[in-house]
Amino acid sequence: MQKPVKPKTEQQRLSALFNTGLLDTEPELRFDRLTHLAQLCLDTEIVLVSLIDSDRQWFKSRQGLDACETHRDISFCGHTILGDGIFEIPDAQVDNRFTNNPLVLGAPFIRFYAGVPLSINGVNIGTLCFIDSKPRQFTDKERQIATEFGKTIEQEIQDRLQEHAHEILAAREQMYRSVLEGTRIGTWQWNVQTGDTVLNERWADIMGYTLAELEPVSVDTWLNLLHPDDVADSDAQLEAHLNGKAPFYDIKCRMKHKQGHYVWVHDRGKVVSYTADGQPLMMFGTHADITQQQLSEIALLHSRDELYKLTQQLPGVVYQYQSWPDGRSAFPYASTAIEEIYGVTPEEVRHDATNAFAKIHPDDLGLLVDSIERSLETLNLWELEYRIIANNDSFKWLSGRATPERMPDGSTLWHGYIQDITQTKEHYLKLEELNQQLNVAQQSLDLASEQAQIGYWQASLKQGTLWWSPMIYQIFGLNEQDFSPSVSLFKRAVHPDDVSKVEQSEDQARITGIHNVIHRIIRPNGEVRWVHELGQLVSEDKNPELIMIGSVQDITDRMKLQKIKDDFISTVSHELRTPLTSINGALTLLQSGKIVSLPEKAQKLMDIASSNCLQLSRLINDLLDIEKLAAGKMLFEMKPLNVPPLLQRALNDHQPYADLHNIILELQYASQINDMRIYVDEHRLLQILTNFLSNAVKFSPQNGQVTLSASVIGDQIEIAVQDQGCGISDDFKSRIFEKFSQADASSSKVKGGTGLGLALCKELTEAMHGKIGFNSNLEQGARFYVRFALTN
């Protein structure tokens, strides 16, 4: 027996066989009908469609045989597929290729065999074969019939393949259709050449229609619903696609809904076939409702605009700063305020931050770079106050804060805000400076307090708190560590004899807001000290806490000195005035001529002695008055006073003195003054007028006139003394009211003055709340006046 060899194209052949998908499938009528017909036509016992697999032959269709396959090595068909034409064995028993073939020796006892190769795609995959158990030979006609049947089977295999492919295609179409339905996407087909248009229900549904309502459908159906403003865009897109410039026709446009509003749709389509001459023929496309998406997008744009507007309103710059590992940095986003802050536009730093960094103050650049580096490494908030150089070489203070975020490309992106804090910073620096000044002031105060032995305290009447400076403890002879300040601690120290005096001042303070008292305290060791207490409420509009401040000064030494001085004055006044009393008394008695009468020359000497004695007496009185005033020991008997009688008295008192110098004294006042009163000490006012008048007489030329007048000026009465002297020289005007000042050193000898008179007048006037002054020019003489407020 001869085994069939394998053809050179075996691999291709097997591949073609598998592609037919026939192996091991169920019998099919389309093949069985043909094999049955061939069996009848050619009258053979067996007809098979045998497919030659790698090791076997398998029968897709069989007539007259039960087996469905045999081994390839014993197959006749294995031989058939090696050639092109029909392979015919008239008697297998005599053909040594098959003599001992099991199929010859045993069932089906093959004697006659004729096989027609079945060729698919140029390779033989199997045969249509005819078998008989008796030797036989086909006629030519029979061979022709067999061959034709073979061709028919081949066709049948091809048809079967086609059908199969078609089924797959149909299934796929069904699947795609389901997918489209699932996505709620409309579809369209458009014949570019004829304008024929096919739409699906969903297409119409998007615009609120049924397809039936849109009939007859044409390309106009589409155009009529398109928003007029979107037509141009659609045309441009279509042209670009048809010209091959765009791979798809792709447009987002508005279509009019049945209810009148517009819906947003996304249309995307493509030319799928062309005419023979290359013109676009069919276009297929989709039609998707993107209203929601579009509205969201519009809302997003809107909110972005809002955000943009918002960032423009901010005084500082909202920004993103990005830094890459290779050292590049940029501001991918910066609101326009960056121009105010850094002097650069957002565009200038969008891709490179160098411009912005160039503005940083050289002293702060290192700090800035370090802080960014640290934030980059730790991903912690970046925060810094730093300076930049502005255009005019001045600098601005900036404050920045930004949150870093690591990006997938390894860069770091900060989102932050930088604002100009120059003003705040300046205020802060000013505050620092003030604080410094305050410190210095505090130290000065402490030093002065130490030096002057003045302690000071603060109390909040609202909070009930009290604070003492260290000096207060020292004054009170207390140890600062052992006592906390308290009002009762203070009260306990007040000398018992002075308690009422202190309380009186406190009562006064409730009305005037000022506590001012000198009293004694007793230290724990029994030592008595004098203190001067001064306190006041801080002005009310700035003092919600009702802060009261005050000082306590140890004036024991001063009081001792005062005592010494008082004693001195007392002694001086006694010791000087006692002999003066004798001299004056003696001279007066002698001068009177009532005790003895004197010769003329003696009388003249008496006059000189008497006049000088009077002068000395006045000097002592003035001195003592000034001292009394300075010590606050002069008492004033203030009461409402009618001015004219006093004026008259002053005038009368001076008449003899004026007569002596041939001076005319004149009195002038408006009659209304008779009804007016001023509040003064009559005796002291007379003292002042006496001074004015004696000065005026002294400095008047012979036969001159001195005028004493009173006039009303506003709500005051002015009493003035005008002379016709030579006035007051300019260089003397500034010190006329100073003690021991006289116009020139010689005048006191000539005119006999103490140089204390006007100084005393000033003190007296002011002590009575009046005002003193003078007018003078060298030609018209001098005019001295005092003014006192009218009283009711």
What lies within 8 Å, CB to CB, of 758 at 6+ separation is 691, 695, 736, 737, 741, 784
- Please, which residue, 1 or 624, has the CB nearer to other proteins? 624
Q: Minimum Å distance from CB 610 to other proteins?
A: 12
Between residue 607 and residue 636, which ones bind other proteins under the rule CB under 8 A?
Answer: 617, 621, 624, 628, 633-635
Phi, psi for 776 (deg, rounded to 5): -160, 140
- Please, which residue, 560 or 633, has the CB nearer to other proteins? 633
**How many Å apart are CA 722 and CA 247, to the nearest integer?**
118
Please answer whether residues 531 and 552 qualify as being in contact, where contact means their C-beta atoms are separated by less than 8 angstroms.
Answer: yes
- The conformation of residue 672, written as its DSSP 8-state character, comes to G
Residue 11 interacts with other proteins (CB under 8 A)? no
Cα 662 from chain centroid (whole Å): 89
Residue 497 interacts with other proteins (CB under 8 A)? no
- Please, which residue, 258 or 628, has the CB nearer to other proteins? 628
Q: Minimum Å distance from CB 756 to other proteins?
A: 15
Residue 585 interacts with other proteins (CB under 8 A)? yes
Interface size with other proteins, residues (CB under 8 A): 27
Residue 133 interacts with other proteins (CB under 8 A)? no
Binding residue (CB under 8 A) for other proteins from 581, 597, 603, 611: 581
* Structure-block tokens of residue 580: 């003066």
Q: Which of 330, 310, 311, 309 is nearest to 321 (CA)?
A: 330
- Please, which residue, 33 or 633, has the CB nearer to other proteins? 633
Binding mask 516-555 vs other proteins (x if CB under 8 A, - otherwise)?
A: ----------------------------------------
Residue 559 interacts with other proteins (CB under 8 A)? no
Phi, psi for 176 (deg, rounded to 5): -60, -40
Q: Minimum Å distance from CB 574 to other proteins?
A: 4
Residue 603 interacts with other proteins (CB under 8 A)? no
Please answer whether residues 38 and 130 qualify as being in contact, where contact means their C-beta atoms are separated by less than 8 angstroms.
Answer: yes
Binding residue (CB under 8 A) for other proteins from 19, 96, 403, 582: 582
Binding residue (CB under 8 A) for other proteins from 281, 538, 559, 580: 580
Binding residue (CB under 8 A) for other proteins from 141, 542, 594, 601: 594
Q: Minimum Å distance from CB 641 to other proteins?
A: 20
Residue 501 interacts with other proteins (CB under 8 A)? no
**How many Å apart are CA 645 and CA 424, to the nearest integer?**
69
Residue 324, sorted as left (phi over 0), alpha (psi -120 to 50) or beta, turns out to be beta
Residue 195 interacts with other proteins (CB under 8 A)? no
Stretch binding other proteins (CB under 8 A), from 495-503, 524-532, 587-595, 759-767: 587-595
Task: Report the side by side order of strands in the sheet with 547-554.
Answer: 465-468, 454-460, 547-554, 528-537, 514-522
* Structure-block tokens of residue 635: 């008492």
**How many Å apart are CA 183 and CA 505, to the nearest integer?**
98
Exposure of 265 in the CB half-sphere (CA atoms within 13 A): 31
Residue 411 interacts with other proteins (CB under 8 A)? no
**How many Å apart are CA 97 and CA 60, to the nearest integer?**
26
Between residue 157 and residue 186, which ones bind other proteins under the rule CB under 8 A?
Answer: none
Q: Minimum Å distance from CB 777 to other proteins?
A: 39
- Please, which residue, 431 or 589, has the CB nearer to other proteins? 589
Residue 656 interacts with other proteins (CB under 8 A)? no
Stretch binding other proteins (CB under 8 A), from 79-87, 144-152, 443-451, 592-600: 592-600
Please answer whether residues 736 and 747 qualify as being in contact, where contact means their C-beta atoms are separated by less than 8 angstroms.
Answer: no
Residues linked to residue 677 through DSSP beta bridges, in sequence order: 791
- Please, which residue, 445 or 616, has the CB nearer to other proteins? 616
543-547 CB contacts, 8 Å cutoff, 24+ apart: 544/462, 545/460, 545/461, 545/462, 545/463, 546/460, 546/461, 546/462, 547/458, 547/459, 547/460, 547/461
**How many Å apart are CA 252 and CA 267, to the nearest integer?**
6
The gap between the terminal CA atoms of the chain, to the nearest Å, is 167
Please answer whether residues 113 and 129 qualify as being in contact, where contact means their C-beta atoms are separated by less than 8 angstroms.
Answer: yes
> What is the amino acid identity at position 499?
V
Between residue 633 and residue 652, which ones bind other proteins under the rule CB under 8 A?
Answer: 633-635
Residue 367 interacts with other proteins (CB under 8 A)? no
Q: Minimum Å distance from CB 659 to other proteins?
A: 20
Exposure of 580 in the CB half-sphere (CA atoms within 13 A): 17
Residue 586 interacts with other proteins (CB under 8 A)? yes
**How many Å apart are CA 385 and CA 363, to the nearest integer?**
12
- Please, which residue, 43 or 607, has the CB nearer to other proteins? 607
Binding residue (CB under 8 A) for other proteins from 3, 268, 577, 649: 577
- Please, which residue, 445 or 580, has the CB nearer to other proteins? 580
Q: Minimum Å distance from CB 625 to other proteins?
A: 9
Binding residue (CB under 8 A) for other proteins from 191, 294, 573, 741: 573
Binding residue (CB under 8 A) for other proteins from 592, 603, 662, 777: 592
Between residue 433 and residue 492, which ones bind other proteins under the rule CB under 8 A?
Answer: none
**How many Å apart are CA 586 and CA 602, to the nearest integer?**
14
Q: Minimum Å distance from CB 452 to other proteins?
A: 29
- Please, which residue, 578 or 671, has the CB nearer to other proteins? 578
- Please, which residue, 433 or 575, has the CB nearer to other proteins? 575
Stretch binding other proteins (CB under 8 A), from 63-71, 565-573, 648-656, 762-770: 565-573
- Please, which residue, 467 or 636, has the CB nearer to other proteins? 636
**Alpha helices, DSSP H, located in 453-494:** 470-476, 487-493
Residues linked to residue 267 through DSSP beta bridges, in sequence order: 251, 287
Residues linked to residue 528 through DSSP beta bridges, in sequence order: 522
Binding residue (CB under 8 A) for other proteins from 422, 516, 584, 711: 584
- Please, which residue, 446 or 498, has the CB nearer to other proteins? 498
Q: Minimum Å distance from CB 633 to other proteins?
A: 6
Please answer whether residues 80 and 52 qualify as being in contact, where contact means their C-beta atoms are separated by less than 8 angstroms.
Answer: no
Stretch binding other proteins (CB under 8 A), from 265-273, 370-378, 384-392, 571-579: 571-579
- Please, which residue, 633 or 769, has the CB nearer to other proteins? 633
Phi, psi for 249 (deg, rounded to 5): -85, 120
Residue 141 interacts with other proteins (CB under 8 A)? no
Q: What is the 3-state secondary structure (H, E, C) of 709-777?
A: EEEEECCEEEEEEECCCCCCCHHHHCCCCCCCCCCCCCHHHHHCCCCCHHHHHHHHHHHCCCEEEEEEE
- Please, which residue, 549 or 580, has the CB nearer to other proteins? 580
**How many Å apart are CA 448 and CA 425, to the nearest integer?**
34
**How many Å apart are CA 323 and CA 377, to the nearest integer?**
12
**How many Å apart are CA 714 and CA 711, to the nearest integer?**
10
- Please, which residue, 394 or 578, has the CB nearer to other proteins? 578
> What is the amino acid identity at position 758?
L
Stretch binding other proteins (CB under 8 A), from 90-98, 318-326, 436-444, 579-587: 579-587
Q: Minimum Å distance from CB 561 to other proteins?
A: 17
Residue 423 interacts with other proteins (CB under 8 A)? no
- Please, which residue, 516 or 617, has the CB nearer to other proteins? 617
Stretch binding other proteins (CB under 8 A), from 23-31, 313-321, 479-487, 584-592: 584-592
* Contact residues: other proteins, CB under 8 A: 569-570, 573-582, 584-586, 588-589, 592, 594-595, 617, 621, 624, 628, 633-635
